[in-house]
Structure 1
Amino acid sequence: MINKSLEKGDSQPVLMILQSKFGLRVIPEYAETYFKTLSEAKKLKTKDSNESPWIKLVMKDMCDYYYNVETEEGTCVAPEGVVPKTSWLTGQEIQ
């Protein structure tokens, strides 16, 4: 959701997530600055022309997990010919 909102330039969903008890609990006074910083970081990530809509997540002590950001499909088995999406910010980069 954060990366999709950054691509659209829509700060409200990002700010709601970051300020929630499940997010980073960003202080409201700094929320807009945080959004701008994330937007700039996202722009610096280059999009591979071959990248697919699949992102690869590494599950703790488990398998790699592949998630399709367009269809919302998920699997522990790498889809055939997948080139993981690298133009999105990772959880660590967002923190």
Structure 2
Amino acid sequence: MNDILYVLRVSHKKSEAELAELIDVPLSFYRKAEAGETELTFEQAKILGGHFNVDPSFFSLKKHSVVNHNTGNSYTLVINPTNFYANPTKEQLESAK
């Protein structure tokens, strides 16, 4: 599961359909991205990052070591990301294709 995407969506009271429309993908693709079954592109991550006012690298599914969330009245989001998109290596760029 992409905890960051899920927590941001729920905490901002957005539906899966709204975010799918925002990044111009079918709802089924968005659900797979949130479930961790597929990766977002950099362009999709940039759109979501701008929408939620977070660094696009937060949406890289394989780069987080700690995510803690509670979707009740309050939540805590602890993120320890590797900034995959800031200075990607050649290997990272190849693996993102």
Q: TM-score range by the shorter chain?
A: under 0.3
**TM-score scaled by length of structure 2:** 0.27
**Richer in strand (by share):** 1
Larger Rg: 1
**Richer in helix (by share):** 2
**TM-score scaled by length of structure 1:** 0.28
